Amino acid sequence: MNTAPASASRPLIRLQGITKIYGSGDAEVRALRGIDMDINAGEFVAIMGPSGSGKSTAMNILGFLDKPTAGHYFFGGAAVDHLSRDQLALLRRNFLGFVFQGYNLLARTSALDNVELPLIYQGMAGSKRRQLAREALAKVGLQGREDHHPSQLSGGQQQRVAIARAIVTNPDVILADEPTGNLDTARSHEIMDLLTDLNRRDGITILMVTHEPDMAEYADRMVHFLDGRIESDNNNNKVANDAV
Amino acid sequence: MLYEAMRLALQAILRNAFRSFLTVLGIVIGVAAVIAMVTVGQGSTDQVEADVATLGTNLLMIRPGQPSRGPGSGVGGSAASLTLKDVDAIEQQIASVAVAAPSNARSMTAIFGNVNYTTTVTGTDNRYLTARDWDLASGRSFYESEQRTGSSACILGHTVQEKLFGNGSPLGANIRLKQISCRVIGTLEVKGASSFGTDQDDIILIPIKAFQRRISGNQDVSMIYASIRSGISTEKGKADIESLMRERRRIGPFEEDDFNVFDMKQITSMLTGITGVLTGLLSAVAAVSLLVGGIGIMNIMLVSVTERTREIGIRLAVGATEGQVLLQFLVEAIVLSLIGGLIGIVLGLALGLLGSRLLSIPFAPDATIVLAAFLFSALVGILFGYFPARRAARMDPIEALRHQ
């Protein structure tokens, strides 16, 4: 873990009255209408909801890619809702990892180079970078494929490269946006096992958007969005059952 | 980070090698044109200066006719010709003149055996060799008696010697100039081409008296060469000659000169001036080409930024700052235009070398202009790369990631 901003007493992430409004006047769209949510370090949260419910907007704000119109976002206890673009970039670089539905790997670039990317922006020396990237690829089960380009890898393998890129900086949080959306069922479960493993073994907090209930089952908490509000926020039944 | 940016830039450029080549073509042509022009221009300036040195920087040429028409203008028909007496007067009465030589020339065909060759026959005397600082390669100069009586002795320039005799020795042979038979008594050292492009070695010297009696049929001298003593300025020598000639030709105080004194220095500065103006003009054209090249780079960088929107989104998502993205695309533009600059420099020097060979002038590459071209192409990269790079850096990561 990085110098984790979280402490045991307070949540890693706290959203207070987060509102996001796009456009103005008649064209005004209220994507988020006051979100309150705490996420503790080490949680695996599935975010669900129909399209237009605001879950993507919430993920963008949680991932420091967007700023709320109103409300407060505390990350590790520090308010981050009015930081500059570059300060948010530094937060992404040091504390977050992203996994997307479409993998978002650099084309015509080897798996190793893709995984090294965040470390380049951290200014890490080349040899150290390559070592960490190899370790991350080994962790997701892709040792021996370091020199493969995305076009030479299957969808599941590409998503593994993306996960390796997300964990190579040893982040506090992984934000996964429909990580299994492009994969068949078998591959989807492999990816979910991998994410669960990272959550359980390395204590990485995972926020995952999905609309597949099967995948949401892996999480220990499910948050449902509807019309820019949180409709429900439950501990996962499965976890509850396991606990019984 | 800069190293990474350079590596990425080269990768991106090589990935689209053909497009990159077309993009930098403008820069290549601009830089090549500037360097070729300046190289050839400098070479011809050097050549003119070297020529004037072979002619003698202290040499003045006096011709009849209206002044200020330049060396190529025709001799005014109304003006009285010069005479051998003028030559002697200039040499003897003007202290600043070391030696003065008469000259009268005509184009004629020289025949030896079955070889015909058209050349310039110049009537003069031994003072010509002194004035022009021209040594004999073989044989001897005119005897005093030959000059006085105007006997048919001739001295061949190197070109004429080669044309008529090849490698054989011409000494003692008789060549024919029209109806005159003329015995070769000597040959001249090689002098090379003059600043006006004429071959100075394409010449036959005969005594002026022989020329006047048997070729021109009059007592005229068409040009007098006067060499000024060392340590005295040519301006002073020129003024002395002008005042003597005005007196001898009885020109009133308010009348214009009906003769003309050329100073080789003036001719040099005129010729180098022309070269300078031409070089300047062509360099301006080349600068426009560089500007157009820069716009081409900006255009293709904008296309590249748009094409790579998703890549930029990924880079921003994993934590690249605006400055890091800006640097990447700026470095790419600079590397692109520097590659163009380097190709242009090589091409320009090659063209300069070729041009120098074709014009038979010295190859004079100028390190300053090469360096300037290099820096200028870097500057073009910065100027025209900044706007596309800034566009990349300011992209919204969410929009960029959504881009297909």
pLDDT at A238: 53
Q: Please name every residue paired with B228 in a beta bridge, in sequence order, or none if there are none.
A: B97
What are B263-312's pLDDT values in tens digits? 877 777 777 788 788 878 877 887 888 888 899 999 999 999 999 999 99
What is the model's pLDDT at position B151? Answer: 86
Q: What is the pLDDT of residue B361?
A: 85
Q: Choose the closest CB to B1 out of A104, A118, A123.
A: A123
pLDDT at B76 over 50: no
Report whether pLDDT(A3) > 50. Answer: no
Pair of tokens at residue B362: 């010295």
Q: In the structure encoding, which two tokens stand for residue B76, read together?
A: 């005014």
User: Which tops the pLDDT comparison, B103 or B47?
Assistant: B103
CB contact under 8 A, B321 and A89: yes
Contact at 8 Å (CB) between B122 and B225? no
User: What's the pLDDT tens digit per position in B214-236?
Assistant: 888 888 899 999 988 888 888 88
The mean predicted confidence, pLDDT, of chain B is 87
First-last CA distance in chain A: 31
How do the domains of chain A map onto residue ranges?
A: 13-243
Instruction: Say which range, B41-45, B59-63, B87-91, B374-378, has the weakest mean pLDDT.
Output: B41-45
A-chain residues within 8 Å CB-CB of B324? 121
Q: Residue B72 pLDDT more than 70?
A: no
- For A166, which residue in chain B has the nearest alpha carbon? B318
Nearest CA among A88, A60, A72, A74 for reference residue A7:
A74
Q: Determine the average pLDDT of the residues in A136-143.
A: 95
CA angle in degrees (0–180, nearest 5) for B359-B363-B367: 140
- Enumerate residues 6+ apart whose C-beta is below 8 A from B88: B100
- The reported pLDDT for the residue numbered A240 is 45
CB-based contact, B17 to chain A, within 8 Å: no
Is pLDDT larger for residue A137 or for residue B95? A137
Q: What percent of chain B has pLDDT over 90?
A: 39
The Cα–Cα gap between B132 and B224 comes to 11
Residue B77 pLDDT > 60: no
**Residues of A with CB below 8 A from B397's CB?**
65
Q: What is the pLDDT of residue A244?
A: 38
Region A149-175: mean pLDDT is 96
Residue range B62-76: mean pLDDT, rounded:
60
pLDDT of residue B59: 84
Of A3-17, A41-55, B17-31, the least confident: A3-17
Residue among B15, B322, B398 whose CB faces A65 most closely: B398
Q: How far apart are CA B291 and CA B231, in angstroms?
A: 50
In three-state secondary structure terms, A60 is helix
The H-or-E segment that residue A85 falls in is helix A85-95
Contact B281, B364 (CB under 8 A): no
Q: What is the pLDDT of residues B168-206, one digit of tens each?
A: 888 988 999 888 899 999 999 988 776 566 788 899 999
How far is B345 from chain A, CA to nearest CA, in Å?
Answer: 32
Domain A13-243: which CATH number of 3.30.70.3420, 3.50.30.30, 3.40.50.300, 2.40.360.20: 3.40.50.300
pLDDT in tens, B1-53: 788 888 888 988 888 899 999 989 989 988 998 888 888 888 888 877 777 77
What is the ipTM metric for this complex? 0.92
B106 closest CA partner among B26, B217, B12, B193: B217
Of residues B392 and B50, more confidence is placed in B392
Confidence of residue A243 (pLDDT cuts 50, 70, 90): very low
Instruction: Provide mean pLDDT across the span B42-71.
Output: 73
| Average pLDDT over every residue of A72-93 | 93
